[in-house]
Amino acid sequence: EILIVDEVLAVGDAAFQRKCLGKMGDVAKEGRTVLFVSHNMGVMQTLCKRGILLQKGTAIADSSAAKAVTTYLEILEKSASQNLLDRVDRSGKGRVKLTQIEITTGERLEATNLATGRPACFVFYANRILPRMSCCFTIYDQLGQAVTCFDSAICSQEDSVNSEDSVKFICKIDELLLIPGRYRINASIMCDGEFEDDVKAAAFFEVEEGRIRDRAVLKSTGYGNVVIQHQWSIPI
C-alpha cells in the first residue's frame, strides 16, 4: 500500500530516473501512498504535497512540501553562521579540516555580494597539508539544485601553486555566470580519492544583478541558474 523511494535521483542514469519518477506517478494515481526520500528540494516541491523533515531520527517539520523545504534551508543557513572549525556536522577521515571560507569579488575586498559578469574568488583554508590533497566544492541554488562543481584535482595549464605560508585553496572566476540569487556551498577536502573533510552548507553567498558583455542579467524568473554569452541576429 505504501511505495518507499529513497534517493532515487542520486543514482542511475537519466533514463532510469525517468522510469522511477514515472512509476511513482502511476502508483500515486492509483490512490496509493508514495514516500519519497530526497535532498533534491526542487523535485520534492514538484512531486509532493506533504513534507516531513527529519533531524537525528525526529520529525521536526510536518506540513506542506514548500514549508518543509523552507524549514530545511533555514536550518542550513543557521549552521553556516557558526564558526566553520567548530561545526560537528561534518564527515570524512578527519586528518584535515576546513577552517574558513572567504568569498570575495577578487579584488581583496571581503564581500559576500557578488554580481553576475563580475570576478569572483573562493578561498578555502585548511588546518594542515597532506600529500596529494585537493579541494572541491559544489554550488547549489536556493532550491537545493546543484548548479556547478569545482575540483582542484582536475588540473589545467592555467593553475598555479600558492607559495604563501597559509594552507589555502584559491578558486578564481574571471566572469561569474550565475544569475542573481542566493546560493550555498558544500565543500570538501580530498586526499587520494577519499574524503578528509566534507561540510554541507559550508557557506552562503548572494549574487546581484549585473551584465555579461554589456547584456543586462536580471533577477531569476525561474528559468535556470546560469547565463551563457550569446549573440542574436534579429530581423529589421
pLDDT in tens, 149-189: 999 999 999 999 877 767 999 999 999 999 999 899 999 99
Distance between CA atoms of residues 168 and 162, nearest Å: 8
Q: What is the pTM of this model?
A: 0.79
Spatial contact of 130 and 93, defined as CB atoms under 8 Å apart:
no
Distance between CA atoms of residues 50 and 121, nearest Å: 39
Q: Quote the pLDDT of residue 110.
A: 57
Distance between CA atoms of residues 48 and 154, nearest Å: 37
Spatial contact of 80 and 185, defined as CB atoms under 8 Å apart:
no
Q: Quote the pLDDT of residue 124.
A: 96
Distance between CA atoms of residues 177 and 159, nearest Å: 20
> How does DSSP assign 21-62, residue by residue?
HHHHHHHHHTT-EEEEE-S-HHHHHHH-SEEEEEETTEEEEE
Q: How confident is the model at residue 10 (pLDDT cuts 50, 70, 90)?
A: low
Helix (H) / strand (E) element for 6: namely strand 2-6
Q: How far from 172 is each of 32, 55, 69, 121, CA to CA, in Å?
A: 50, 35, 31, 5
Q: Quote the pLDDT of residue 221.
A: 62
Distance between CA atoms of residues 131 and 189, nearest Å: 12
- Grid coordinates given for 21: 519518477
- Percent of the chain at pLDDT > 70 equals 94
> How does DSSP assign 177-219, residue by residue?
-BPSEEEEEEEEEEETTEEEEEEEEEEEEEEE-EEETTEEE-S
Average pLDDT over residues 192-197: 94
Distance between CA atoms of residues 132 and 109, nearest Å: 30
Mean pLDDT for the chain overall: 87
SS3 assignment, position 87: coil
Determine whether 68 is exposed, middle or buried from the number of CB atoms within 10 Å of its CB (0-12, 13-18, 19+).
buried
- Grid coordinates given for 30: 492509483
Q: How confident is the model at residue 22 (pLDDT cuts 50, 70, 90)?
A: confident
Q: How confident is the model at residue 83 (pLDDT cuts 50, 70, 90)?
A: confident
